[in-house]
A and B are shown apart, each in its own frame.
Chain A
Amino acid sequence: MASKQHHYESLVRMYHKELYKFAYWLSGDPTIAEDLVQETFLRAWRALDSLQDENAAKPWLLTILRRENARRFERKQFDYAEVEQDTLVDDTSSALDDAMEQTVVQRQIANLAPEYREPLLLQVVMGCSGDEIADILELNKNTVMTRLYRARNQLKDALTTEYEPIKGASN
């Protein structure tokens, strides 16, 4: 029992930050993100005995979180895309140019179709490999790599078309 508690706490400390960021970008809302992470870990606690391999902890937690997120959509059928625009945060950058670019990217990420956004978040935020993403999303690896390619290309395009005029106007 004590070791189960210990195991659980170390999982929470190791993964809660990444999972929160992932949930945030998935849902576009800090409150929902916190709820998702909270619920994910509670379910993880109840099912902790089923986690045999420590290396599988991250994909296991991500699978629980994605299922929780899907449940949210079963309950509420409205579109979160609008919400995402309003709740974007931008507090990490000091230089104005950087801040602008980051805001553009943040908005573009919220606008990416979910099938492109999710693999990209798993790769950039969660540090998952192509194979891990394929497992978590239940896709083959080629599909994952194609989606990652398209996601980055779309973001790059958006930056050059959307950011340049902003920059031009400020000069």
Chain B
Amino acid sequence: MDELEFRRRLVADPHDEEVKKQAEQQPELQALVEEMQAFDDFLGKSLDIDVPEGLADKIIAKQKELETEEQKVVRVSWFRRATAPFAIAASVFFAAVVFYFGGFGHPVDTGEHALAHVYYEENALQKQETVSLQTVNEKLAMFGGKFDNLPGKVVYATFCNFKGQKSLHLVMQSEFGPLTVFVVPTGQQSTIDGKDSFGDSRFEGLIAHNGKANTILVANRGTPIETFQSEVTSSLRWL
């Protein structure tokens, strides 16, 4: 290689084997190689900052914590099933509701389903104890998603079956009362039938279609649901 090429390669990578070999044959180039290597060592030292103590342990602890959290979700649901047989009866009732809406040859309307679901877990709307954003995100992580922030205090976060699709059911307290959000990953079957808003005498709701999921928001009549819906969808990120 000529001297120009030699210099370019040396500066780009002072440890380039071919460059080093050439310098061995041409001693006048050797000083240049040494100078660049010294500069590189110096660069390396300048960039060699201290790593926070115990970082590796912290990273591993975090992953274990997450792992336990995910196992706890499974354990609690089994516990509930074993100790609260009336929950089974309620499920049967819920199934009957779903059947009533969906059993006559046409698909269950998503809005109706969301409303039925909200009524079914109505006591969740009364909850006040905060669930951290981190806990929500750990659950959402199972779908590959993450919330940057949420427009209200989360008081309920659980996995639910939404028209046969595992989904995340959230309840937030806002100044307009409780807001329910379903994050339903778009699986292979289409669970959404294109209707964007729905409601009854008590609640109104909106469905937003987002690349990897549909977010369905249900709130008391009179709540600015458009604003909340756009806040929710814009803070939702996917891997």
Contact = CB atoms under 8 A, between A and B. Distances in A.
B13 A123 contact: yes
Interface residues of B, number: 31
B25 interface: no
B80 interface: no
B59 A38 contact: yes
Interface stretch (A9-17, A49-57, A78-86): A9-17
Chain A: interface secondary structure?
A: helix
A106 B9 CA distance: 24
Contacts of A12: 56, 59-60
Contact of A124 (B47, B49, B60): B47
A38 B11 contact: no
Nearest to A9: B60
Contacts of A125: 44, 47
Contact of A149 (B11, B43, B50, B66): B11
Contacts of A75: 148, 237
A45 interface: yes
A109 B47 contact: yes
Contact of B52 (A30, A105, A124): A30
Contacts of B158: none
Given A75-B148, A102-B45, A89 B59 contact: no
A170 to B, nearest CB: 19
Contacts of B52: 20, 30, 34
Given A16-B56, A20-B51, A106-B46, A156 B39 contact: yes
Contacts of B141: 42, 46
Closest 9 interchain pairs by CB? A148-B12, A149-B12, A102-B46, A145-B12, A105-B46, A149-B11, A17-B51, A41-B59, A20-B51
Given A145-B8, A148-B13, 5 more contacts: A34-B55, A43-B239, A92-B50, A148-B12, A152-B36
